[in-house]
A and B are shown apart, each in its own frame.
Chain A
Amino acid sequence: AQTVTQSQPEMSVQEAETVTLSCTYDTSESDYYLFWYKQPPSRQMILVIRQEAYKQQNATENRFSVNFQKAAKSFSLKISDSQLGDAAMYFCAYRILRNEKLTFGTGTRLTIIP
């Protein structure tokens, strides 16, 4: 069974600074996707960034970037120039190509300090 582990239940960062959220996963599959979802207080699940396992290049979306280490099964999210609106629960998620369901980690609650 695939598992996703987020070892940081809570993180905080000063506004405008950079923070990295950690995620590791366990799988025997070679083809899969990894995601970071953001869940603000509104509880909406918002896709932040996605990484295909076959791509060596790390995905980037504006202030959000990932460090994907396939051999180490690590998938961290870096948020640069943190903003107050970034405060949320962040979930790392995984899915294999031939299956649609997402497996989520337990989440990291990010607090932005003004």
Chain B
Amino acid sequence: AAGVIQSPRHLIKEKRETATLKCYPIPRHDTVYWYQQGPGQDPQFLISFYEKMQSDKGSIPDRFSAQQFSDYHSELNMSSLELGDSALYFCASSLEGGRRTEAFFGQGTRLTVV
């Protein structure tokens, strides 16, 4: 079965650079979530989209932005990167905001800021 696809799997950026993370949800899933997991930490919710509209917002820095496109894939844009942004970034998808299915997670993008 198709899963959530995240790209790239690994990314190394320098401080103050910009990074774009991509997420392709499971086919027919219309809801996407982004989570950030720092080293040794639990995942923290950043933002979610349902039917291309932002549905909820968590502890996402102002330097980050995200959107969901017409084909339901999502991109997380991160600017002015800081060392503290180094983390594993998960994308998850579900159907109808989790009312029809649970959230299924991608394998994550490991971002390292140097």
Contacts and interface: CB of A to CB of B under 8 A. Distances in A.
A106 interface: yes
Interface in B57-98: 58, 88, 90, 92, 94, 97-98
Nearest to A45: B105
Contacts, number: 51
B98 to A, nearest CB: 5
A102 B45 contact: yes
Nearest to B45: A101
Contacts of B98: 95, 100
A103 B88 CA distance: 16
Contact of A43 (B50, B103, B108): B108
A104 B55 contact: no
A89 to B, nearest CB: 9
Contacts of B42: 91, 104-107
B107 to A, nearest CB: 5
A99 B98 CA distance: 9
Nearest to B41: A106
Interface in A1-47: 35, 37, 42-47
A100 B43 contact: no
Contacts of B55: 100
Given A91-B42, A100-B31, A104-B43, A43 B107 contact: yes
A28 to B, nearest CB: 18
A108 to B, nearest CB: 11
B97 A100 contact: yes
Given A45-B90, A50-B102, A100 B56 contact: yes
Contacts of A46: 105
Interface of A: 35, 37, 42-47, 50, 91, 95, 99-107
